[in-house]
Amino acid sequence: MGSVSLKIGDGTARFRRASFCSSAVNILMLFSVVTTNLFALYAFSSSPKDHQDHLIHNPHKNISLISEHVSLILREIASSQKKLAKMEKELLGYETMDISRPNIASELKLFLQHHQLPLGKDSRTGITEMVASVGHSCEKSADLLSQYMVYKISGPCPDDWSLGQKLILRGCEPLPRRRCFAKSVPKVGLYRFPASLWKPVSEKILTWSGLGCKNLECLNKKKLSRDCAGCFNITSGYETQKFVKARGKNDFLIDDVLALASGGIRIGFDISGGSGTFAARMAERNVTVITNTLNVDAPFSEFIAARGLFPLYLSLDHRFPFYDNVFDLIHASSGLDGGDRPEKLEFLMFDIDRTLRAGGLFWLDNFCCADDEKKTALTRLIERFGYKKLKWVVGEKVETAGSRKSEVYLSAVLQKPARV
């Protein structure tokens, strides 16, 4: 059972669709009411004769008894309706949050309320009501979500982007909409595209609240991830050489990969793309790339946007908001790692496969495997999809920090087959 999104004013609503489950529940409710009434009828008709004579001679007691029976029937019906409503919600799989709690913010209650369509059931789609689109995992962080929804209506939004990101990282995605104005940072000193791809970004246009570093110099001294060590330095250093100059056999050149494509590369998706350098290199080649990012320890989204590129603020636990078979190329690196949960990587791989067109390329770039066992598991997972291996290189790199132990890195360019 799916849901339909409809843009109404400034809000997006999800609609519940009439289904077999809802029809079955209605039939069950009707059966319950009929059964209860038949039971009441039997109770009245099966009274002994002397008891009936007693009721005839005592009309007030008779009325009182009837009232008691009617009250009992109404209570049974109300109880059945509550149980069936709860059953229907469980079957439909939505509304797991109890908005009757006293600590739930009033704005959150208003957003989560269901709204019946003014003209009743839609004859074309079967839609009956609008349902707010909020992640089910938000129930586990109801207190934080309620805190997120406390603000002055039509006033400035609190400076709480880090709270929203914390909810997203806990699986509370998408977040509810808010009726407040986000803080506006003057975007001065922006360069025109394509000069913006490699020009320095002013620190004044970035948001530093909630971050340990308060300037780009601090960020460039840190290794924020395996793929982002000094990645905010786009005027000098290795970031200016990525994808055009190889440092090892695992580093593929971007022009070599594009030459492998059948039908050309027009649009792509970069998963956990750091500061947007991959998208910048593709933009130089007239290819539009969307970069998936979160602001973990750095203002990635604003920095990517300042370069004239498209950041998509989304966690990898969220289903990609794209239709099937739309991308010519998907690029991913160690950000794809699901940690100790192999099923997480498996779900992610199926979503990558869903959005990649037949004949499109999946570029796995320096994916770090902790050991040969993990490499073998990843290889078996990839082989399940039947991709053609255009490039496949396994190498070792020595970590410069800590124990200097070597790790296995896999780089591959894979072509998705056409499936009938």
Q: What is the pLDDT of residues 206-260, one digit of tens each?
A: 999 999 999 999 999 998 988 899 999 999 889 999 999 999 999 999 999 999 9
- CATH 3.40.50.150 at 216-416, yes or no: yes
Buried/exposed code over 273-290 (b: 16+ C-beta within 10 A; e: otherwise): bbbbbbbbbbbeeebebb
Give dist(CA 270, CA 290) in Å, integer. 6
What HEC string does the chain produce?
CCCEEEEECCEEEEEEECCHHHHHHHHHHHHHHHHHHHHHHHHHHCCCHHHHHHHHHCHHHHHHHHHHHHHHHHHHHHHHHHHHHHHHHHHHCCCCCCCCCCCCCHHHHHHHCCEECCCCCCCCCCEEEEECCCCHHHHHHHHHHHHHCCCCCCCECCCCHHHHHHHHHCCCCCCCCCCCECCCCCCCCCCCCCHHHCCCCCHHHCCCCCCCCCCHHHHHCCEEECCEECCCCCCCCHHHCCCCCCCCCCCCCHHHHHCCCCCCCCEEEEECCCCCHHHHHHHCCCCEEEEEECCCCCCHHHHHHHCCCEEEECCCCCCCCCCCCCEEEEEECHHHCCCCCHHHHHHHHHHHHHHEEEEEEEEEEEEEECCHHHHHHHHHHHHCCCCEEEEEEEEEEECCCCCCCEEEEEEEEEECCCCC
Q: Which residue has the tokens 């269901």?
A: 114
Give dist(CA 241, CA 385) in Å, integer. 32
Nearest to 172, CA basis, from 112, 257, 130: 112
Tokens of residue 209, six digits? 């609240």
pLDDT band at residue 125 using 50, 70 and 90 as cut-offs: confident
Q: What angle do CA 292, 298, 302 make, to 5 degrees?
A: 60
Q: Does the bond joining 299 to the residue before it have cis omega, within 30 degrees of 0? A: no
Q: Is 136 a residue whose pLDDT tops 80?
A: no
* Residue 54 phi, psi dihedral angles, 5° rounding: -65, -40
Condensed to tens digits (0 to 9), the pLDDT of residues 180-194 reads 999 888 888 899 999
Output the CA torsion 57→61→63→64 (10° steps).
-170
pTM reported for the whole predicted model = 0.73
Give dist(CA 350, CA 370) in Å, integer. 22
Length of the chain: 420
pLDDT band at residue 107 using 50, 70 and 90 as cut-offs: confident
Q: What is the pLDDT of residue 58?
A: 61
**Residues paired with 241 in a beta bridge:** none
Condensed to tens digits (0 to 9), the pLDDT of residues 29-78 reads 666 666 666 655 555 555 455 555 554 556 666 677 777 878 888 888 88
Q: Where in the chain are the domains?
A: 106-170, 216-416
79 vs 35: which has the higher pLDDT: 79
Give dist(CA 120, CA 275) in Å, integer. 48
